[in-house]
Amino acid sequence: MTLSSEILTSIMRALAEDIGAGDVTSQAIFPPAAQARGQIIAKQNGVVAGLEVAAAVFARLDPQVEFSPLAAEGAAVENRQPLARLSGAARALFSGERTALNFLGRMSGIATLTRQFVEAVSGTGAQILDTRKTAPGLRAADKLAVALGGGKNHRMGLYDLILLKDNHIDFAGSVAEAVRRARAAESGLEIEVEVRTLEQLQEALACGVERILLDNMTLDEMRAAVRLTAARAKLEASGNVNLQRVRAIAETGVDFISIGALTHSAPTLDVSLDILALARDVSQQGEF
């Protein structure tokens, strides 16, 4: 996997935030030649995501750090399972520890919650989508975690899909007028329309849009929407989605279910770096 420039920028920003002018503690304790060896472990069951991001954190501090993953990205892992081994300059390992674990824990938490939703709708044909409710500056990492958890990415931002929401429609005066203006912009992008009623759904269908978002509809309304649409557009359900309700939503026949909680409410997976050995310099690495 090649990390995107957005994720690499996030790593640099996170390291600058944490280290600033220098890791004064590590610099005081460890001479430049000091070496360390350790392993990252999971401290609870979950789905691992972000090992390559963690590796990139340490590589940014010292390209000589050796980082060996022990689990595949997106794999289910168990409590106390080793996720990676690493060795190299002690300063680099200690200085990068918190930033690497922050990325790994957050991404694994998102992947874990996403996998739970994906498994909950298994066999229905519905796909689980994320939203733009990501941590500022971490969207690429958050959405990568969703993908590793088995979900699908919705639009990355305001630039890659026209999504006509209630305020756009209210300002334009109708669904039809909002769609007309969107098409007149000639962006070449797919158009999705958010509807709150079955009447608005029929108006959107009459416009021939490719995708329609059913906003906070009841299960009965969703089932009616699926019948009315008759596969003329892809339907996305959104609003009031949780693990207890998501299966019932999927069974209405919608194509997608978008869930903001995947990225804004996922508990961080508990991971830690255990230092297994320290050496004063490279010549003592044989004692590791």
Query: Are residue 155 and residue 248 in the same domain, yes or no?
Result: yes
Same domain, 135 and 67: no
Q: Which of 85, 98, 152, 234 is catalytic?
A: 98
Q: Are residues 199 and 252 in the same domain?
A: yes
Query: Catalytic: 133?
Result: yes
Range of the domain at 212: 120-264
Residue in 23, 97, 142, 194 annotated catalytic = 194
Domain shared by 127 and 45, yes or no: no
215 annotated active-site: yes
Q: How many domains does the chain have?
A: 2
Q: Are residues 143 and 205 in the same domain?
A: yes
Task: Locate the DSSP E strands across the chain.
Answer: 35-42, 46-47, 66-69, 76-77, 82-89, 127-129, 162-164, 191-195, 211-215, 234-238, 256-258, 271-279
- Please say if 43 is a catalytic residue: no
pLDDT at residue 213 in the model: 98
CATH classification of the domain holding 43: 3.90.1170.20
Q: Which pLDDT value is given to residue 45?
A: 98
Same domain, 160 and 218: yes
pLDDT for position 286 = 58
Given 215, 221, 251, 270, which residue is catalytic?
Answer: 215
**127 and 252 fall within a common domain:** yes
Within this chain, do residues 157 and 243 fall inside the same structural domain, yes or no?
A: yes
Q: Which of 13, 43, 165, 245 is catalytic?
A: 165
Q: Are residue 20 and residue 39 in the same domain, yes or no? A: yes
CATH of the domain at 221: 3.20.20.70
What are the structure tokens assigned to 48, written together?
Answer: 């691992």
Q: What is the pLDDT, as a whole number, of residue 22?
A: 97
- Same structural domain, 107 and 148: no
Given 6, 18, 85, 133, the catalytic residue: 133
Q: Collect the ranges in the chain with pLDDT lower than 70.
A: 282-288
SS3 state of residue 85: strand
Whole-prediction pTM: 0.95
Phi/psi of residue 85, nearest 5 degrees: -110, 145
